[in-house]
Every structure is written in C-alpha cells, then in structure tokens.
Amino acid sequence: MPDSSTGSTGNTENTETTGTAEHAVDPVNAAGTGGAARPSRRAVLAATTAVTGVLAAGAAAGAPAYAAGASGTPSAPSTPDDRKLRALVSRMTLEEKVGQLFVMRVYGHSATSPDQADIDANLEEIGVRTAAELLEKYRVGGIIYFTWAHNTRDPHQIASLSNGIQKASLGLPHGLPVLISTDQEHGIVARVGAPATLFPGAMAVGAGGSRFDARDLGRIAGRELRALGIRQDYAPVADVNVNPANPVIGVRSFGSDPEAVARLVAAEVAGFQRSGVAATAKHFPGHGDTAVDSHTGFPVITHSREQWEKLDAPPFRAAIAAGIDSIMTAHLMVPALDASDDPATLSRPILTGILREELGYDGVVVTDSLGMEGVRTKYGDDRVPVLALKAGVDQLLNPPSLDVAWNAVLRAVRDGELTEARLDESILRVLRLKAKLGLFKDPYASPDEVDRRVGTRAHRAAADRIAERTTTLLVNEDRVLPLSRRRQPRLLVVGADPASPSGTTGPPTGVLAGALNELGFTATALSTGTAPSAAVIDRAVAAAAEADAVVVGTYNVTASSGQRTLVERLLATGRPVVAVAIRNPYDVAHLPAVRAFLATYSWTDVELRAAARVIAGRVEPRGTLPVPVQRADDPAAVLYPVGHGLRY
C-alpha cells in the first residue's frame, strides 16, 4: 500500500509555464520566495470553460457536494446533473478515458521544472521528464504525492506543485482537473510534514476513544490538505488489528474492537469530508489479521464468512453509512469470500458481489499500490489492471510501469475483453467525485489559504490536546511517576530513534529531552538505537550514573532484543527507569521488571511532547489500551486487556 512507504524532503518550487494560449493561467510563482501564487479567478474560469460548458459544478445526485467558497471552506452542498457528466464522458477519446482511471506517482517538487535527479527518475520509471509531460502523454486522472518523490517539501511548494499540475492538465485539449491524493494517516504514516499540523496516529486516537477527537482530527487535517491542493486522502485505516504480529497495519489501526474502530472511522470520515477532502477507508475487505506484509508477500486471511462479518466488516459498513467517498482494496486472499485464490483487488465476488451489491456502496473504489507484491504474485503487470477493472475497481493506483498498465487497458478494450461502457462506469464515478470536491469550479490552491490554514497555532494546540488524551500509563508500581523536578532534576533520555515518518520531526530521544527541559528538568539525550551494542549499552549505563532518573524509548522489543538488555542494565543501576513504548504497546510484555511504563503508539513529536507532560505530572495519563497485550511467555494469556490504563 502506498501508505506504508517512507519518504524524504525537498526544496523550492519554480515557475510553472505549461498550458496552451487559450487555456493559459497566471504563472505559479516560486514558493521559496513567498508562496504559491493562485491564478486569478478570471484565469481559472478561462482554463475550465470547456468543462463547465457541459458540467454544472457540484456532486453526484444524492450525495453531498462541497465546492470551495471564497474562504476556501466548503460551501453549501450542490448537485450536478448526471446527464452533463455523461455528456462529458461521451466527448472523451478512448485514450483519455483510459488515462482517467490511473493515479500515478511522479518525482519532483515542480510540475515543469523538477530537479535533475527527479527528471532522471521520471525518465527511468515513467518515460517522461515532468508531471506536465506525464499528463500530456497519459492523461492520468490522479496524481499521488510521496515524500520520497520530493513532492512535499513545504506547504507553499506543495500548493505550487498542485497548481502546476492543474494548470498543465487544464491546458490540454479536453483538459480535466486532476484529483491529487496522498497518504496522510498521521502517526507513523504522514507525507506532509511540519510546519503542517501533525496529529497522533489511529491507535493513539483509539486509546483516547473520543469520536469528537477523531472528527476534529479529520476536520483540521482535511482543511490543511485542501489548502495545499490535495483533495483525496487515503485515510482512515478501517482495518481491525487483532494480530499483534501484523507487520504492516499495527498502530495504523484504531484498535482490535470492531465496533470501537467503526465509530472512530465514521467520525474521522465525517471530519475529512466536511472539510471538502475525500476520505478513503482502507484496506477492504480487511487487513488486520495477517502476519505477512502485502508489500513483500501475499497474505491470506483465514477468517470464516461469519468471522469476517463480525470482525472486519463493521468499520467498512460504518464508513459507507457515513457517506465515504472512496474505499481502497487490499492485496490479500480471503478464501471464505472468494475461493479463486485471487487477491481481493482482483476479485469480482469481493468488490462487486460484496462491496457493491451486498454493502450497497456506489462510490469510488481505488486499488492499493499496484507495485506491491501482494497483487503481482499470481498475474503479470499487464494483467493486473485489466483484472482489477473487471473486478469492479475505478482507480488504478501507482502501477510499477504506467506504460505497460495503460496500454494493457487500452488493448483490453480494443480486443473486447473490456467494454468501453465498463470504463465509462468508473470514469463517471471519478468525475462525480471531482465535481463533489469542487474541482470543476475551482481546482487551484491559494497562497493566502496556505498561510491562513496550514499549521496554525490553533490547529497545533488542538493536536496537542488530542495527544494528551491518548498517552497510556500501563505500569506505575510504587508511584514512580510522575517524576519530580525537585527530587529528580537530572534526567537521561535514551532509546531508539527511528526515522521521522514525514522527514520533519524527531529524533525521538531529542524531542523527549527537549520537552522535559521545557518543563523544568535538565535532560540529556543519548540515542541507543533499536539494536544497541554492548559498547552503546555500557555508555548508557555510565551516563545513567550521572542522572537522577532515566527515560528509555522502546521500539518493537522482542525476547532477544538488545533493547531488553539495555533496560535490564539500566534498572540494575538503581535509578528510577521510565519506559516509553514509542510504537507498539506490546513492548511492555517483554520488560516485566520495569516499574513505570507508558505507551504513545508513535514517535512523532506531538505524541512525545504529550508523554513528556505526563512524565512531568503536568497532565494526567488518560489513554486506555485499544488492543490487548498478551503475555510474552504465553501468547494465549492476556497480560493487559483492552481498556487497561492507569491514572495518577
């Protein structure tokens, strides 16, 4: 799934100059010198004349639609005429129709002037130099932003890139606005980093248990994404994580209780979509009970149909009831739902039979990334997109070779394997969504809106308040916590420093130490890594001798982990030791001698700052476990049940 890739950083945006004379819009100015210039209203209307001549801006009949008002906030719902949308489809060439089905990656911070390294990457992987050339050659309906593709350097650059993409597409004959998407789950998956507001991830929100917090997260995050020109977010995760060994979902899930997950999914969907951003529930029919990562293997879910109905289906039902705009498929096999051994992404019984017909969903269905091994194991890259469309998919996300996939779909129509009417069905859904999101009326981002909405003080304060309600105190023997500035003024902070999900936060030990310093302690950070050597452990133990207490951040501890040895050696010093599980709460089962243990469910700054406030006693620990923690020596026995969480 594109959602678990990691990313990097970037630079500045250059002036965009694509577009024909009759569709020209104002240049997009350099973000590095003041932001993403928004094309004038007059230019916007000129650029979209061909489309709006046949389309009334709004949304599909029966669904709420939100076109951007003067403030950039979604205005009152409106309803487009489906006949006009169909007329628009009828004017498209077959090649244009095929393109609308694809959502593709592209390297670079600019639609027309990316860095040379990004040009080289585009040429190697896609056969084009820039996003503008991608649109001209393949007429893709969507583009997905990644950090590692250098799409998300800073807010004004992102808005400039979005405007450059829209301008390039609208400047083509029969040009259509592009649906720009990303994976902004928050927590351990975030493509847009600081200074945009970063929130706790799903399992942390599950620990807080508040539908209001989930809704507010979606509302604020949606407003910021929309200001950047991103109108579709591949969130929330609707998988119910019942397998502690799940290597790909884990803390990206709200928890293990299907009904609790369903409530939070519905709330977050409402928040996103009221902000004018399409939410995406993923990964249908459910990816929560697997020990195999579908990026690198082909998972099999062994749930019976009855188990699926009780465990996996409720969050997706709730998302549909909440009016979810899009649902992402999973690259895994569920024999109880389809005995063909095909992945769900390619399964007509699952996508059409269950999702469309039984659950009554008629919104957009998007695949997970088609570059993942889970969908490539059984069929070649030329067959996967065709079979996905035959199964009921509408958007084909990020194929490894766009040329192979695009031509495969084109050939399938020309050879009669796919009908053009089948393509029209999906294109109509995609166009309805674009209309609902206001893309036909005003596809551009505004630099003023970036300044007004992205990373504001009020938004950051809301993220901090939500995070404070998620930190979970699992163990507190002999009232080790909270630490006292008077009795324990000198603190040593050690532990793992995993890479920042967005490339803009961390390192965790430094963030924790910095936050504790701001709270009146004298804290020193020492990164010891996820697999500390004997020499590193010795250094940490020596440093502990100069401290009054030690805070250690743990990350995916196992029975043989060097992190266990580190903690045991620190405990042997006699200093109070506070362990903070910065990813999975299951770490506590492997460290039974620790007398004070917190879980943050992620290592991003907002969650670590909240943990520091709990350690210092500035706020009460208020989170409760959204998943059970099994005993390390007997996985069949529960050490801490769902709902466990101590207070001071």
For the segment 561-593, what is each residue's pLDDT rounded down to a tens digit?
999 999 999 999 999 999 999 999 999 999 999
Q: For residue 324, give both structure tokens.
A: 């979810």
- Domain assignment present for 620: yes
Q: Is 60 left (phi over 0), alpha (psi -120 to 50) or beta?
A: beta
Same domain? For 187 and 335 the reply is yes
Q: Which amino acid is at 66?
A: Y
Residue 63 has pLDDT above 90, yes or no: no
Residue 385 sits in the same domain as residue 491: no
- Asked if the peptide bond before residue 285 counts as cis, ω within 30 degrees of 0, the response is yes
Do 136 and 221 lie in one domain? The reply is yes
Output the pLDDT for position 17.
30
Tell me which H or E stretch contains 186: strand 184-186
Q: Is residue 647 part of a domain?
A: no
Say if residue 206 is in the same domain as residue 311: yes
Residues 624, 536, single domain; the answer is: yes
Same domain as 540, residue 397: no
Q: Are residues 41 and 188 both part of a single domain?
A: yes
CB atoms within 10 A of CB 259: 12
- What is the distance between the alpha carbons of residues 587 and 244, in angstroms, rounded to a whole number? 11
CA angle 28, 30, 32 (to 5 degrees): 145
Q: Which strands sit side by side in the sheet containing 490-495, from one edge to the other?
A: 472-476, 596-599, 577-581, 549-554, 490-495, 522-527
- Please provide the average confidence, as pLDDT, over all residues in the chain: 89
Q: Give yes or no: residues 435 and 496 share one domain.
A: no
Rounded to an integer, what distance in angstroms lies between the CA atom of residue 315 and that of residue 266?
8
Measured over the CA atoms of residue 248, residue 250, residue 252 and residue 256, the dihedral's sign is positive
State how many domains the chain has.
Answer: 2
What pLDDT is attached to residue 56?
37
Tell me which residue range forms the domain holding 512.
465-640
- Tell me which of 449, 476, 500 is where a domain ends: 449
Q: 421: Cβ–Cβ under 8 A, 6 or more apart, which residues?
A: none
**Catalytic machinery residues:** 295, 368
* Claim to verify: residue 423 and residue 481 sit in the same structural domain: no
Cα separation of the two ends of the chain? 40
Helical H segments across 578-634, by residue range: 605-615
Three-point CA angle 223, 195, 112, nearest 5°: 80
Do both 426 and 473 map to the same domain? no
Please indicate, yes or no, whether residues 262 and 341 belong to a single structural domain of this protein: yes
List, for residues 381-405, the tens digit of each pLDDT value: 999 999 999 999 999 999 999 999 9
74 occurs within a structural domain: yes
Statement to judge: residues 493 and 428 lie in one domain: no
Mean pLDDT in residue range 200-210? 98
Looking up residue 445, the CATH number of its domain turns out to be: 3.20.20.300
pLDDT, tens digit, 9 for 90 and up, residues 321-371: 999 999 999 999 999 999 999 999 999 999 999 999 999 999 999 999 999
CB 185 within 8 A of CB 178: no
Is residue 457 included in any domain, yes or no? no
Q: Is residue 455 in some structural domain?
A: no
Note whether residue 646 is domain-resident. Answer: no
Contact in structure between 571 and 594 (CB atoms under 8 Å): yes
- What CATH number corresponds to the domain at position 595? 3.40.50.1700
Any domain includes 439: yes
Q: Tell me the CB-side half-sphere exposure of residue 237, using CA atoms within 13 A.
A: 32
SS3 assignment, position 232: strand
Element (H, E) at 425: helix 420-436
Residue at a domain's end among 449, 481, 497? 449
Please tell me the pTM assigned to this model.
Answer: 0.89
Alpha-carbon distance of 464 to 553, in angstroms, equals 20
